[in-house]
Chain A
Amino acid sequence: QQQVRQSPQSLTVWEGETAILNCSYEDSTFNYFPWYQQFPGEGPALLISISSVSDKKEDGRFTIFFNKREKKLSLHITDSQPGDSATYFCAPFNTGNYKYVFGAGTRLKVIA
């Protein structure tokens, strides 16, 4: 059962462009939506998160857009930098049960 879907599987953008990473889910009880960033050889690190009561969360160049009705969210990375090259995971959960389910990830490559 694939509860969390991420697209695209991989994405290449030029430096300075906006990268858009998508996530959709099935479980309507999910109410918290963190995104993780993972560099090769490291563990995933929390990048930015949003709760289901908001439709947008911004942190510097990173913005989450959330559509609760459609069960979709997206991570926008503006002015992409080569240092943003990493794999990004969407990991929605329900704060009632703390069972975190990760999507398969989007591998982002930013070309200088």
Chain B
Amino acid sequence: EAAVTQSPRNKVTVTGGNVTLSCRQTNSHNYMYWYRQDTGHGLRLIHYSYGAGNLQIGDVPDGYKATRTTQEDFFLLLELASPSQTSLYFCASSGTNQAPLFGEGTRLSVL
């Protein structure tokens, strides 16, 4: 069964803290994505990748780094977290000519 698994599901950190969000897909998809979702903005693309070692910049990349270590694993890094990064984060994966399949999300609070 196709799956995208995110961890942790909830995270609380303080301003200036270091956070890593993890995503693993078992779908053999080439493409993986990180989005953030905020009320009134829908889903906004942070970074995406089309394979291990590849990284493409999305529409709201400031303050975020990402790394695709394998075809299955995509990480989102917040090295100096700020309250403006409090949000609901979604990871997704897609194959060729396929719409993305989403994970269940990670809720991040930066105090």
A-side interface residues toward B, CB under 8 Å?
A: 6, 32, 34, 36, 42-46, 49, 89, 91, 95, 98-105
Contact = CB atoms under 8 A, between A and B. Distances in A.
A98 B102 contact: no
A14 B38 CA distance: 28
Closest 10 CB pairs of A and B: A43-B102, A104-B42, A34-B99, A102-B43, A102-B42, A105-B42, A46-B99, A44-B102, A98-B31, A43-B104
B104 A91 contact: no
A100 B50 contact: no
A60 to B, nearest CB: 18
Interface in B56-107: 56, 58-59, 90, 92, 94, 97, 99-105
B42 A89 contact: yes
B23 to A, nearest CB: 11
Nearest to B42: A104
Nearest to A98: B31
Contacts of B33: 100
Nearest to A1: B59
A98 B48 contact: yes
Contacts of B35: 102
Interface centre among A46, A100, A105 (most CB of B within 10 A): A100
Contacts of B102: 36, 43-45
Contacts of B42: 6, 89, 102-105
A59 B19 CA distance: 41
A93 to B, nearest CB: 8
Interface string B21-65: 000000000010101000011111100101000001011000000
A28 B45 CA distance: 20
A43 B99 contact: no
B7 to A, nearest CB: 14
